[in-house]
Copies of this chain bind each other. A is one copy, B any other.
Amino acid sequence: MTEPILFYFDFSSPYGFFASRDIDALAKRHGRIVTWKPILLGAVFKHTGIKPLTTIPLKADYTQRDLAREARRLDVDFRLPQAFPFASIAAARAFYWLWDQDPEKAKSLAQALFEHAFIAGQDISKPHAVLEVGRTLGLATSDLEVALSDPAVKDRLRQEVEAAIAAGVFGSPFVLVDGEPFWGYDRFPRIQAWLETGGW
């Protein structure tokens, strides 16, 4: 049981953001590490026919309310960016490029991107915004800029999204613990119980 826990998320997913704040600590309490895997829900939704939460009558209003309520509970100064949902392809490419060099730094970048979107409420959909967030972490802007349009990086992300769909991932956050799937931030208590008990 030494395989990393797999944490799938989309940078445009607010529940993914909430989950990103907890997942490493949760795993660490049980001696586990976490591999972060940004995906593109747009590609996943094409496969499943699911629509973004905010486009569904009634569910959209509920989701806004639930997000605000969860944020108050978590004491997070949360806001939705004006443009939402937004494209997360640049953020995801930046992440994988950095992950292959330094996973811990890639997690820091992911958290900074999430906070830029869901605490500062800023647009992170454009490459220049991702570069700017990278710069605040001391990343070489020119290297990152090249990476964002590098065919190898684009392929890497495409393959990750395809592999995620093949693994059954259909939403964000989505966690695999030794092959056991957990969808949604509201399943996090179950992940904890699963890690504590070894499953049931």
- Residues A113-138 near B (CB distance < 8 A): none
A66: shortest Cβ distance to chain B, in Å? Answer: 7
- Residues A38-52 near B (CB distance < 8 A): 47-51
CB-CB under 8 A from A50, the residues of chain B are 56, 59
Q: How far is the CA of A50 from the CA of B66 in the complex (A)?
A: 18
Q: Is A112 an interface residue (CB 8 A)?
A: no
Out of B62, B66, B165, name the residue touching A58 (CB < 8 Å).
Answer: B165
B-facing mask of A161-200, CB < 8 A → 1, else 0?
0000100111100000000010110110110010000001
Out of B49, B51, B59, B72, name the residue touching A57 (CB < 8 Å).
Answer: B49
Minimal Cβ-Cβ distance residue in B for A66 = B183
8 A-B pairs (CB sep. < 8 Å)? A47-B58, A57-B170, A58-B170, A59-B171, A62-B170, A69-B190, A73-B193, A189-B189
